[in-house]
Amino acid sequence: MTSPAEARVVLYTRAACHLCEDARAVVVQVCAGAGAGWREVDIDSAPALREKYGEYVPVLEVDGVQQGFWRVDGARLARLLA
């Protein structure tokens, strides 16, 4: 993970979420390969985030644009970071 200012990718997650664990693994691998910074945000840390994302986690955001939820497609993420 990198500092928030350097992160092109934001992964919104919550604890005890198996899809979040899968998504994190993809994000770590793809971002490392692309040299892109990323950060993870626990939606349960803020009521507004919990209300916004609810059961849709994990949510992937790239360059400030939501790119999907539940499953992270590594090939698509790599294209977005290219």
pLDDT at 16: 95
Mean pLDDT of the chain: 94
- Is residue 1 very low, low, confident or very high in pLDDT (cuts 50, 70, 90)? low
CATH topology of domain 4-81: Glutaredoxin (3.40.30)
pTM for the whole thing? 0.92
Q: Could you read off the pLDDT of 5-58 as tens digits, one per residue?
A: 579 999 999 999 999 999 999 999 999 999 999 999 999 999 999 999 999 999
Q: Are 81 and 33 in contact (CB under 8 A)?
A: no
Q: Could you read off the pLDDT of 44-75 as tens digits, one per residue?
A: 999 999 999 999 999 999 999 999 999 999 99
Residue in the block written with tokens 């899968």? 22
